[in-house]
Amino acid sequence: MNTVQAALALSLVPGVGPAAYRELVERYGSAKAAWCARPIGMAERDARRLADGAALRATACGAVVISQEDATYPAPLLELTAAPPVLFAIGDLTALSGLCVAIVGTRSATGYGERMTRELAGVLARAGATIVSGMARGIDAAAHWAALEAGGKTIAVLGTGVDIAYPAAHRELHRLIAERGLLLSEELPGDRANSGSFPKRNRVIAALARATIVVEAPVKSGALITANHALELGRTVAAVPGAIDSPQSAGSNELLRDGAVLIASVADAVALVGLTRPVRREPHFGTGAESAVWAALSHGASDIESLTSRAALPARECLAAVTALELSGAIECALTGEIRRR
């Protein structure tokens, strides 16, 4: 039995939670030594079977298993009193070593919330930050999409097994993060969500990130749980202000009232983590159609049909101009169909 197998089996013994696991490893010097020191009874045999099955499922879905003793285990998580003994990961592990910024918020996001999230996540990703969130509907999904569309890195911390796309509507997002970012979970591969898995997930998001930015959070929400974990860890917590009569912003506005850092502009978010905002260059227009498309996008993002109308161009000419501007880096075409200036 190697170190990872021992760590996984030890963590699955009934009664050995994250705190007890850490105590055992500190007492015996390693997870393997702690496992070997245990008398092997029915509980240990069951844990070993569970561990072997989880390892096989991890291999089948392309996940790697990371124990606290591995060099790739994210050091910030060890600041948690209940750090996950073992993590499952699919994707680019180098994302764990970057400057991480969490962007979290309500599943029932308004258009304003999603727009602010996309702007913040896109600029932060282009400036070099790794965007961390929980792949939920609303704000989380907007943050991941924006990071991917900016060509940056993103980490999705899941409350399910790392191989499970939850919600099911996020299968494509799950697939793209696996290809171009990192999926991370302490749940066993194949495990579905349960009532306790999302609060556990939230503490990992908070611990990974140097700063947590809350965009639209009701008074009772997972985003506020994440913010509280971040505060307990001594991390920076910031929030985007919202309308005082909007339930979606009631919790985030309370964070601001209680001392969270105010994010009043994208520049505030970039400065919060000591990055420099990427310079936006005015594009060179090769044709009048490109100039017309650029001008039409000054009013905000658009789909191709609306943009054709705004720019007063034939559909084929507008599409050619969009392609040229995208290739030059002046605009971005989101996977959702939106076209916007970079």
CATH of the domain at 305: 1.10.10.10
Residue 174 lies in a domain: yes
Q: Hey, is 202 helix, strand or coil?
A: helix
Q: What are all long-range contacts of 163-172, with beta carbons under 8 Å and residues at least 24 apart? A: 163/57, 163/61, 163/63, 163/90, 163/189, 163/190, 164/190, 164/191, 164/192, 166/135, 166/192, 166/193, 167/136, 167/137, 169/137, 170/135, 170/137, 170/141, 172/335
Measured between alpha carbons, how far is 308 from 141 in angstroms, rounded to an integer?
28
Is the same domain home to 337 and 211? no
Domain count, the chain: 3
Is the same domain home to 112 and 225? yes
Residue 56 lies in a domain: yes
Is the same domain home to 209 and 234? yes
Helix axes 304-311, 315-327, angle to 10 degrees: 110
Measured between alpha carbons, how far is 313 from 317 in angstroms, rounded to an integer?
6
Q: Hey, is 32 helix, strand or coil?
A: helix
Residue 229 lies in a domain: yes
Measured between alpha carbons, how far is 133 from 100 in angstroms, rounded to an integer?
10
Is the same domain home to 172 and 321? no
Is the same domain home to 21 and 160? no
Amino acid letter for position 16: V
Q: Where among 91, 116, 148 does a domain terminate?
A: 91
Residue 13 lies in a domain: yes
Is the same domain home to 240 and 324? no
Is the same domain home to 115 and 193? yes
CATH of the domain at 183: 3.40.50.450
Is the same domain home to 40 and 162? no
pLDDT computed for residue 332 by the predictor? 80
pLDDT computed for residue 271 by the predictor? 93
Half-sphere CA count of 114, side-chain side, radius 13 A: 14
Measured between alpha carbons, how far is 50 from 9 in angstroms, rounded to an integer?
7
pLDDT computed for residue 281 by the predictor? 55
Measured between alpha carbons, how far is 111 from 301 in angstroms, rounded to an integer?
12
Would you write out the chain's pLDDT as a tens digit for each of its 342 residues? 788 999 999 999 999 999 999 999 999 999 999 999 988 899 999 999 999 999 999 999 999 999 999 999 999 999 998 999 999 999 999 999 999 999 999 999 999 999 999 999 999 999 999 999 999 999 999 999 999 988 999 999 999 999 999 999 999 999 999 999 999 999 999 999 887 888 899 999 999 999 999 999 999 899 999 999 999 999 999 999 999 999 999 999 999 999 999 999 999 999 999 998 775 556 778 789 999 999 998 878 888 999 999 999 999 999 999 988 877 778 888 767 788 887
For residue 95, give both structure tokens.
Answer: 């994302």
Is the same domain home to 28 and 82? yes
Among the listed residues 28, 30, 41, 29, the one whose alpha carbon sits nearest the alpha carbon of residue 5: 30
Amino acid letter for position 292: A
Is the same domain home to 209 and 333? no
The helix (run of H) or strand (run of E) holding residue 119 is helix 111-126
pLDDT computed for residue 86 by the predictor? 97
Q: Where among 45, 68, 91 does a domain terminate?
A: 91
Residue 280 lies in a domain: no
Is the same domain home to 250 and 144? yes
Residue 216 lies in a domain: yes
Q: Where among 51, 66, 91 does a domain terminate?
A: 91
Q: Which residues of 66-100 are buried (b: 16+ CB within 10 A; e: fewer)?
A: bbbebeebbebbeebeebbbbbbbbbbeebbebbb
Query: Whole domain around residue 211: which residue ranges?
Result: 93-272
Is the same domain home to 53 and 100? no
Residue 316 lies in a domain: yes
pLDDT computed for residue 193 by the predictor? 85
Q: How many CB atoms lie within 10 A of CB 287?
A: 12
Residue 281 lies in a domain: no
